[in-house]
Amino acid sequence: MQITQGVSVGLAALSRNKLRSVLTTLGIIIGIAAVVAVVSVGGGAEHLVLLEMERAGGAGMIVCFRKQHIRRDDGSYIENKHPEYIEYNDLAFVLETCPSIKVATAQAGMDLRVSHRYNNRSLQVHGVTPSFQEVNNWYAEKGRFFNENDMELRDPICVIGSEVHKELFDMADPIGKELRIGSGRFTVIGVMEAKGNNMATEGWDNRVIIPYTTMKIRFIGTRKGWMVLFAQADSYDKVEQAVAELKVAMRQQHGDEKYFDFFSAKQVIERVGNVSRIIQVLLGAVASIALFVGGIGIMNIMLVSVTERTREIGLRKSIGARRTDILIQFLIEAVVLSVCGGLIGIFIGSGLATGSGWVISKFMIKDATWPAVVSVQAAAIAFGVSAFIGVFFGIYPANKAAGLMPTEALRHD
């Protein structure tokens, strides 16, 4: 009951000086809004990476490729002249000996001249295995993808990206028609779904995909070093285990895994997350300066309020109000003032975060959406901080009010 009455009296006191109350809470509003907006926009970086990784196969993606340079014990780098290269039979061995890997594909790519009638382009041509679709989360939208039988027959067939469909075929049905790749003729059997020029999938729609065995015979020949292994771990939690198993497999196949590099999407996600959190903490600390200034403003206005209401305090004490009653009364007023500012700041900060995400997506990042995720945790912390500021900066004025002697307070003009 005492708290309810305190809140009621506090709101009444603040409403009598509306403009002063609003100006007092500006520091809190600005500080809380800045903290919520900064934390929310900063947190969008991690969410953006997760979304982009999902487009390119998912957070469980693992890539194994031959290093161009090897780091020596003294920290310097030398060219990797080891005779071991990733081979086609490594794919079957990895799938057989790595239980934490659910699917894998081999891939080799190069730039080649691709033409249809009078239209020709220099495009990326990739030789892959049938599991390419599942590993990269990229599927044929029209027609079909090639299968194991096509791999064995080494058929001159291809699947094209949506931009290749647009540029070379002018969106006409390409299924069954021919493309000239290099000096050979290939039959189009499918069109891949559009991926867009996002950060993780930039250029995918301009690719031409053919069976790896066909790529090997027609374009690679006896040359080595073209193959890269792409794999998907059973789950995000098993990525490290899958990488460890893959290293063991490469060691068994090639004598040592140090000649190969192992990259996982999880590494990128964790690094971006760490950087994002550091930036959030630093920017949040800078923004929180406004909270400190706002707290001083609350202390100042509460001291003014104590001076203005000295006779009221004396009257309440003379009719039986205890020291704790006065202390709680002024603390509640300070908290109400601070919390009101905090709630307004959370609302404004959420709007700023959404608006900032839109501006970043519209003018700074091409073909991507920056997800300004308004963190419930950040809003809750901001609310708690605003209440704490009310208590912290309201203690001195409240204590000063509670310490007034009734007789002296009643004589105050």
For the chain, the structural domain boundaries read 2-54+271-411, 85-254
Closest CA to 54 of 327, 381, 408, 368: 368
DSSP 195: -
Give the pLDDT of residue 1.
46
The end-to-end CA distance of the chain, in Å, is 31
Give the pLDDT of residue 395.
74
Give the pLDDT of residue 237.
86
Instruction: Work out the burial of residue 170: count CB atoms within 10 Å of its CB; fewer than 13 is exposed, 13-18 middle, 19 or more buried.
Output: exposed
Furthest CA-CA distance within the chain? 106
CA 364, chain centre distance (Å): 16
Q: What is the mean pLDDT of each run of 10 residues along the chain (413 residues)?
A: 63 71 77 77 68 70 84 71 84 91 91 88 92 90 92 92 91 91 92 81 88 90 82 88 92 86 82 73 70 75 70 67 71 77 82 74 61 67 72 70 57 52
d(CA 143, CA 141): 7
pTM of the entire structure?
0.68
Q: Which residues pair with 120 in a beta bridge?
A: 115
Joined together, the tokens standing for residue 382 give 């901001």
DSSP 225: S
CA 202, chain centre distance (Å): 18
Joined together, the tokens standing for residue 408 give 């002296």
- Element of type H or E holding 237: none
Q: Which residue is listed with tokens 């919520």?
A: 36
> Could you tell me where the beta strands, DSSP code E, fall in 43-196?
61-66, 69-71, 77-79, 101-116, 119-128, 140-143, 157-160, 178-181, 184-192
Please tell me whether residue 249 adopts helix, strand or coil conformation: helix
